[in-house]
């Protein structure tokens, strides 16, 4: 009895120690699959009673210690990934939440643009600066710039695009002081991003790491490596002008993978709920403003969530067809798509229709009509 008691005490002690040590890894496990319609509201349009449902699906991302790592590895429905695999090289894992919320904000804009453009509405766009997507650890920009900040000026020059920033700073030598005008971003605990008034920030240019080459940026006029280095990743921040306001509420959800589902949800609402014909479908994939569908992570786990939700069809990026089918239930049909038109065509095959801005109703040839 004493031996057994000692062994139990030792196991408890080992478990306690393991629970206190980070495994520098995360568990990706099946999340939820919930209707996208309730999170979308469109000014001037009453939410219709849809003929079917479009599900937005996600995964749970959980930081692991060595004790929970063991359980995650034994769970066939979960995937364990190194923390470093979730961020770009040189970027701290502490940036993960902020990057995810920025990606979601950008995914919402892309969904609005892609949906409205497909339906024939006009969407205006204006470049507004260079938005910070990632900041490298121990770089000149570390502690000075933050994810979602928008750089609108550099060295007294107005900045409208990411290439404008790269060009303006291209010849700054290591050790030189530069001044940036920045719209500071504030990200709430639930992921809402708001901006303050532009303010000036200063930093010292660093020496480019070996292999860093600004000529690969693709910016016009930038044909040689940059003289200096900031350690920040940027892209052009775009302000869109919509024909009406479309609000998408996604508290505490980060990442870009809901892009396709949100796009289809907007189209469904503007089509009087007829895009999905008497069925439950789910979708995952990034959405570009031009309608291109991109790769996402955790698709095997999402297929499990979608199967549990009772969906009959799951639209996924083409490269994720195999992983999705590997965990999907026998009753769930998984279809691969490369762009929005392909996804809509599949829904047309299932009896769905959409309504264009001019009132034209599109669907399969025998369902095309004029309202």
pLDDT digits (tens, 9 = 90+) for 324-349: 999 999 999 999 999 999 999 999 99
pLDDT band at 18 (very low <50, low <70, confident <90, very high): low
For the chain, which residues make up each domain, given as ranges?
30-64+74-79+245-370, 124-240
Q: What b/e string do you get for 304-332 counting C-beta neighbours within 10 Å, with b at 16 or more? A: bbbbebebebbbbbeebbebbbebbeeeb
Report phi then psi at 202, rounded to 5.
-115, 145
Q: In angstroms, rounded to a whole number, what is the distance separating the alpha carbons of residues 77 and 29? A: 7
What percent of the chain is modeled with pLDDT above 70? 91
The pLDDT score that the predictor gives to residue 214 is: 46
- Mind listing the pLDDT tens digit for each residue in 77-97? 999 989 888 888 888 888 999
Q: Residue 113: enclosing H or E segment and its boundaries? A: helix 96-118
| Domain 30-64+74-79+245-370, classified CATH 3.30.230, yes or no | yes
Other beta carbons within 10 Å of 251: 10
What percent of the chain is modeled with pLDDT above 90? 74
- Mind listing the pLDDT tens digit for each residue in 343-370? 999 999 999 999 999 999 999 865 444 4
CA torsion angle for 306, 308, 310, 312 (degrees, to 10)?
A: 40
Max CA separation in the chain (angstroms) = 84
Among 86-95, 191-200, 266-275, the range scoring the smallest mean pLDDT is: 86-95
pLDDT band at 371 (very low <50, low <70, confident <90, very high): very low
The pLDDT score that the predictor gives to residue 4 is: 63
The pLDDT score that the predictor gives to residue 38 is: 94
Residue 215 in this model has a pLDDT that exceeds 70: no
Residue 5 in this model has a pLDDT that exceeds 90: no
The angle at the Cα of 309, spanning 112 to 68, to the nearest 5 degrees, equals 95
Residue 178 in this model has a pLDDT that exceeds 60: yes
Q: Which CATH class is domain 124-240?
A: mainly beta
Q: Is the pTM of this model over 0.75?
A: yes
pLDDT band at 68 (very low <50, low <70, confident <90, very high): confident
Among 1-15, 70-84, 201-215, 334-348, the range scoring the smallest mean pLDDT is: 1-15
The pLDDT score that the predictor gives to residue 369 is: 47
Over residues 140-149, mean pLDDT: 96
Among 118-122, 168-172, 189-193, 224-228, the range scoring the smallest mean pLDDT is: 224-228
Q: In angstroms, rounded to a whole number, what is the distance separating the alpha carbons of residues 284 and 292? A: 13
Mean pLDDT of the chain: 90
| Residue-by-residue DSSP string for 26-52 | EEEEEEEEEESGGGEEETTBPPP--SS
| The domains spanning 30-64+74-79+245-370 and 124-240 adopt the same CATH topology | no
């Amino acid at each position: 009895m004493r031996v057994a008691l000692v062994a139990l005490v030792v196991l408890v002690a080992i478990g306690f120690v393991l629970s206190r040590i980070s495994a520098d890894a995360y568990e990706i496990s099946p999340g939820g699959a919930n209707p996208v319609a309730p999170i979308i509201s469109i000014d001037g349009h009453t939410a219709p009673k849809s003929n079917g449902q479009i599900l937005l699906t996600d995964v749970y991302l959980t930081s692991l210690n060595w004790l929970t790592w063991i359980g995650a590895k034994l769970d066939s429905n979960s995937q364990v990934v190194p923390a470093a695999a979730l961020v770009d090289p040189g970027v701290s894992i502490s940036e993960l939440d902020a990057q995810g919320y920025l990606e979601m904000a950008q995914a919402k804009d892309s969904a609005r643009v892609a949906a409205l453009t497909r339906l024939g509405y006009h969407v205006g766009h204006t470049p507004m600066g260079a938005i910070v997507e990632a900041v490298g650890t121990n770089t000149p920009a570390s502690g000075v710039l933050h994810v979602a900040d928008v750089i609108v000026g550099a060295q007294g020059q107005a900045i409208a695009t990411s290439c404008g920033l790269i060009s303006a700073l291209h010849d700054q030598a290591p050790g030189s002081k530069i001044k940036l005008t920045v719209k500071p971003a504030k990200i709430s605990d639930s992921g809402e991003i708001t901006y303050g008034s532009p303010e000036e920030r200063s930093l010292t240019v660093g020496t480019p790491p070996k292999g860093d080459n600004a000529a690969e940026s693709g910016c016009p006029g930038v044909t040689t490596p940059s003289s200096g280095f900031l350690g920040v990743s940027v892209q052009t921040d775009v302000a869109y002008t919509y024909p009406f306001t479309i609000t998408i509420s996604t508290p505490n959800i980060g990442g870009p993978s809901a892009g396709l589902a949100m796009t289809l949800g907007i189209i469904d609402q503007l089509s009087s709920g007829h895009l999905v014909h008497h069925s439950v479908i789910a979708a995952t994939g990034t959405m570009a403003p031009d309608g291109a569908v991109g790769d996402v992570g955790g698709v095997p786990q999402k297929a499990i969530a979608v199967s549990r939700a009772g969906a009959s069809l799951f639209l996924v990026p083409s490269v994720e067809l195999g992983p999705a089918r590997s965990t999907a239930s026998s009753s769930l049909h998984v279809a691969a798509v490369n762009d929005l038109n392909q996804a809509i065509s599949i829904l047309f095959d299932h009896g769905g229709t959409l309504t264009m801005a001019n009132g034209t109703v599109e669907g399969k040839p025998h369902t095309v009509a004029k309202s």
